[in-house]
Every structure is written in C-alpha cells, then in structure tokens.
Amino acid sequence: MTIINAVDVKRNYGDQWAVNGVTLSLNKGDHLAIKGASGSGKSTLLYMLGGLERPSHGAIKIDGLDLVKSSDQALANFRNQKVGFVFQFHFLLSTLTALDNILMPVRIAGLKEKKYLAVIDQYAERLGVKSCLKKFPFQLSGGEQQRISIMRALILSPPVLLCDEPTGNLDSVNSANVIDLLKELSKASGSTLIVVTHDDAVAQKFDLRMHMQDGKLLVN
C-alpha cells in the first residue's frame, strides 16, 4: 500500500531551487534514509512531506491526503494526527513535564489521555526513561530529551515518522542506538520512517537509501 507519493516536487526561495523535481513513492512500513550535505535540500523535502511547507510545484499525497490542495487547518490536523516529527533539537516545551510533552498530540487531537498512559508506560520502560516522566526538560540529559521527543512523535501511532538529523548531536554509539530505536518502534507501530542525515554511518543502517544533491533525489 502506497503511503507517500510525491511527483516532480519543487521548492524555490527566490531564484534558488532548494528542491528541484523530486519524485518519491514509499509503501506502508518502508524505512528510508536520505543522505546529503548541508544545503542539499533534504530538510526542505522532509518539511514538505510533513506539511510544514508547501511546494512551489508538484504533487504530494500522504496517506491519501493531497497536501498541495489542503487548507491550513487540514494540514494542521494532518501534522498532529498523521505524522510524527523527530528533530535534532528536541523542541520540548520547557514549562511542561516530560509526560505532558508526550501527551501534547493527544490533547491537541482532543482524545482521552487515559487510554494512552499504558502505552507511555511501556515506551518509558523500554527506553529507560520511567524516572524522567515527572521531570522538566531542563532536568533531563540530551539523550533523555531525545527519547522523550521520540515518544511524543509516536504516541498516536502515526502512519509516517519523519526525522531530521535525529542523531546530529550524538556520538557514534548513541547515534546507532537512536536509529535502532527509531526503526524498532516504527516497525512495531507500522509507521513509514524517513530519516534525513549527513552521516554515512546512519544511512548505512537502512536497506533503502537515497542521496540528495543540489535539490535532486538520487538512488544510491
């Protein structure tokens, strides 16, 4: 089943083409690494696939939703319920506990929190952050914050998980652990996973690999 379908997608900023004619099709449960240098367009592509930016040209459908033709409100609902985001910088809300940060997508969607607490407990046990749930972000290490952000991204079991340089601030051992974790949890939830990275060691952990250069997506 095709979950991501992008055709001839382009995005320009003035006369600069950040993404220039990308076509991509992924099935449910696929795991893809997109490797590229800084400025290659990989993050811009990811943001368009996640409904954070609109393309200047082309078509994008994610889980049946036409992102180009959708209203701003429809895109907001899509981002909250259909896509999980994991970034290099974790964007945890400093005034909320780790648990409250994880529950944010649930609250925005207007869902009952109680049914998700058992899932959070299972994730926290698996990730070794049970003792962190009542703490605030400033009380957590960088690795703990990253794991909390992964839990937040997966709490609604979204069809798509998009990760922008999720290991950018980590050493090689912790980088490998985070990627293994993302693959394991996305497989368990049935999510399609895309990781963009500049790190060849990260990309090599994926069976599906592509390369981004000068706004174009190339098959390895």
Rounded to two decimals, what is the model's pTM? 0.89
Domain count, the chain: 2
Strand partners, 211: 35, 218
- Residues 74, 49, single domain; the answer is yes
- Residues 116, 185, single domain; the answer is no
CB 91 within 8 A of CB 152: no
pLDDT digits (tens, 9 = 90+) for 19-32: 999 999 999 999 99
pLDDT digits (tens, 9 = 90+) for 38-79: 899 999 999 999 999 999 999 999 999 999 999 999 999 999
Q: What is the pLDDT of residue 220?
A: 67
**Band of residue 146 on the pLDDT scale cut at 50, 70, 90:** confident
- Residues 110, 52, single domain; the answer is no
**Band of residue 117 on the pLDDT scale cut at 50, 70, 90:** very high
- Residues 11, 55, single domain; the answer is yes
Strand pairing category for 2-13 and 57-62: antiparallel
Domain final position from 108, 131, 157 = 157
| 5 within domain boundaries | yes
Q: What is the pLDDT of residue 50?
A: 95
- Residues 23, 35, single domain; the answer is yes
- Residues 143, 191, single domain; the answer is no
Q: How far apart are CA 34 and CA 195, in angstroms?
A: 6
Element of type H or E holding 41 = none
Q: Which domain holds residue 137?
A: 93-157
* Burial of residue 27, with CB atoms counted within 10 A of its CB: 0-12 exposed, 13-18 middle, 19 or more buried: exposed
Enter the tokens of residue 38: 């800084």
Whose tokens are 């922008």? That residue is 164
Q: What is the pLDDT of residue 64?
A: 92
Domain final position from 109, 132, 157 = 157
| 25 within domain boundaries | yes
Q: What b/e sequence results for 52-78 when a residue is b if at least 16 CB atoms lie within 10 Å of its CB, and e otherwise?
A: ebebeebebbbbeeebeebeeeebebb
Strand partners, 34: 196, 210
Q: What is the pLDDT of residue 60?
A: 98
Phi/psi for 32 (5° steps) reads -125, 135
Q: What is the pLDDT of residue 172?
A: 81
**Band of residue 128 on the pLDDT scale cut at 50, 70, 90:** confident
| 168 within domain boundaries | yes
- Residues 188, 149, single domain; the answer is no
Question: What average pLDDT does this structure show over 13-18?
Answer: 93
Whose tokens are 């220039």? That residue is 20
| 175 within domain boundaries | yes
Q: Is the pLDDT score of 148 beyond 80?
A: yes
| 58 within domain boundaries | yes
- Residues 137, 148, single domain; the answer is yes
